[in-house]
Amino acid sequence: MNLLRKLLNPRLLLGICGLTLVGGFAADRLLAERPAVAAGLFLLCYLSGGYFGVIAGFNSLRKGVVDVDLLMVLAALGAAWVGAPFEGGMLLFLFALSNVLQNRALDKSRQAIQALMRLRPDRVKVKRDSAWVSARVDDIRPGEIVRILPGDSIALDGELVRGETSVDESTLTGEAMPVAKTEGSPLFAGTLNSAGSVEMRVTRAAADSTLARIVRLVEEAQSQKATTQRFLEKAEQRYALGVILATLGLILVPWLMFGAEFDATFYRAMTVMVVASPCALIISTPAAFLSAIGGAARRGILFKGGVHLERMAKVEIVAFDKTGTLTLGKPRVVHIETAGTLSETELLQLAAGLEEHANHPLADAILQAAAARDLTPEPARQVDTLAGHGLQGNVGNRRLLLGSPEFLAERGLPLPPGLDMLRNEGQTVVLLAGENSDGSLIQLGTLGIADEIRADAAATLCALKRLGIRKVAMLTGDHPEAARRVAEATGVDLVYADLKPEDKVRVVRELGQSGRVAMIGDGVNDAPALAAAHVGIAMGAAGTDVAMETADVVLMSDNLSRLPEAFALGRRTRRIVIQNLVFAMGIIVVLGLIALFHGIPLPLGVIAHEGSTVLVCLNGLRLLRPTRLNRRQRQNHAPCPRCTGTPACGMAHKAMS
């Protein structure tokens, strides 16, 4: 059985077909007195070159389908029938060669993502019974502790529990810069430990790791066909049946009705059948889509099918969530103003002393601001949390209150001047006040906290408009002033604020009435809007289950600059598919007309037909390479007043006032 499997290897059969084709040609010329030698060699040529075509054609016929494999086999047999066995053998040889090259090209696109699995080691050091032992990765269970040395590939998803290091996550996210990792940081399978020796607690089994899920997603995506591909495959059997009927007509009508010579008529009909076969047409779309999906996955962009890649090329409106997408989603202190004799240092120390007893994003921002200045928070006692309002507690011999202006105004504190200006800038204002002996309050300082806009947000939106996006909208549940500030800083065209999740769905559908809409969010609270959009895109989803399940396209990294690349890839894929279709159709029409009205040698028709098939495969493989904005796209818009020439945009602009 193993010997038979080896003998039926496509490459081996191709080699036998080529050798016997040359041998048969030589025997036909040199051993004309022994025709059995040439006949035997040509028979081996036909058997080896047509084996897989006969099998595929027979399986298709059992399903009631006529395909190109059957056309090629019939054309080769027809050539042999009219005394041109060499031409028929050449057809089978080139058809087999074309199939081998096609499969190799398509396998290359599939292996582009499967190669990631080879980055994962087979064995790891795991701590069992107080000793470090070597174990197979598939035997490791969640909760076990694994040691990772410098230069090791990380085999499983987990959480760093001892040590510090930096990790190269480019295999998942496409980001070249290593990511610093401290205790509590997540680690992902398939990434590379660049620095220190660390210990990790496994959080997922090997089969459930982020890397394994990515590979599964891409394999599923490559099996989901684009609309164009599905249409061509449905049309293939009708077209192939039409070619067979037309070939019969070309044989019978001239021979029976006009008395044409049978052999010449039959030969011309076989040539027409070969050049009219839709091999290049059928392979033109899967070659492009498989390459695009595989190449994008290696750069941290996951398309869940060719249909979504196809839809990306038609998007005209892009809607962004604000928090965590256009902004970092991490509030920070952007304004410090003291009152009385307090310094900024003392104000931060007092506020941080109270916020050490709180657990909310504003508290984290104040504590991080103090840590950035290497300040030690003042110890606070008897701290009470007033939910939704603020904190109060004793620091030293003073009673302090920290909270919203409305909360402190209710306690009798006069609101400071400039409060409205800070709020108009999108800042959340926190006031610190001290309590006098008579119970009155005195203001000690003001802190302004805002969500930081991503550094590459403006350049990303600029790049999207250069790609042909007509409008950029922002959908947020934040108040209008904060939304307006982000919109002005990034170049957003349409702002929708104070939205609930169901409101975002409504806005996406309204936008969809004037064009195809892509929605970009974090894949969790934006899930309804992602599902309502023409294309849903989740950003920064490495290790996030919900994002991978919800969106049509997943950007594994937190880097917005991957977004223009995803849109550019969709448009580039569409262009290459159109190129392939036009080229394949052109070859069929031109060669068909020449063969029909003028006549061409069958070998020449075979070479042109199979050569066009290989060319469309090679053209599709270009999508394995990264996609960049071309010159026309870079010059498509006037210079952006906000873009500073970051890589996302692809152009260096001078700042405009």
The encoded tokens of residue 215 equal 């590979």
Bridge partners (DSSP) of residue 75 are none
The encoded tokens of residue 3 equal 């010997």
Amino acid sitting at position 473: A
Q: Are 73 and 255 in contact (CB under 8 A)?
A: no
Q: Are 154 and 187 in contact (CB under 8 A)?
A: yes
Q: Are 571 and 313 in contact (CB under 8 A)?
A: yes
How far is Cα 110 from Cα 116, in angstroms, rounded to an integer? 11
What are the CA-CA distances from residue 538 to residues 37, 548, 571, 573 (Å)?
A: 66, 8, 19, 21
State phi, psi for 277 to the nearest 5 degrees: -65, 140
Q: Are 17 and 91 in contact (CB under 8 A)?
A: no
At which residue do the structure tokens 């969640």 appear?
142
How far is Cα 482 from Cα 493, in angstroms, rounded to an integer? 15
User: Running DSSP on this structure, what letter comes out for residue 153?
Assistant: B
User: Is residue 321 among the annotated active site residues?
Assistant: yes
Buried b (16+ CB within 10 A) or exposed e, 76-114: bebbbebebbbbbbbbbbbbbbbbebbeebbeebbebbe
Q: Which of 56, 49, 62, 39 is nearest to 19 (CA)?
A: 49
Neighbour-count burial of 196, counting CB atoms closer than 10 A to its CB (0-12 exposed, 13-18 middle, 19+ buried)? middle
How far is Cα 314 from Cα 329, in angstroms, rounded to an integer? 30
User: Running DSSP on this structure, what letter comes out for residue 433?
Assistant: E
How far is Cα 571 from Cα 636, in angstroms, rounded to an integer? 15
How far is Cα 445 from Cα 328, in angstroms, rounded to an integer? 26
Query: 321, 456, 522, 526: which one is catalytic?
Result: 321
The residues, any chain, with a CB within 8 Å of residue 609's CB and separated by 6 or more, are 274, 275, 277, 279, 280, 587, 591
How far is Cα 488 from Cα 494, in angstroms, rounded to an integer? 10
Q: How many beta carbons lie within 10 A of that of residue 525, not counting itself?
A: 16
State phi, psi for 537 to the nearest 5 degrees: -125, 120
Residues with a known catalytic role: 321
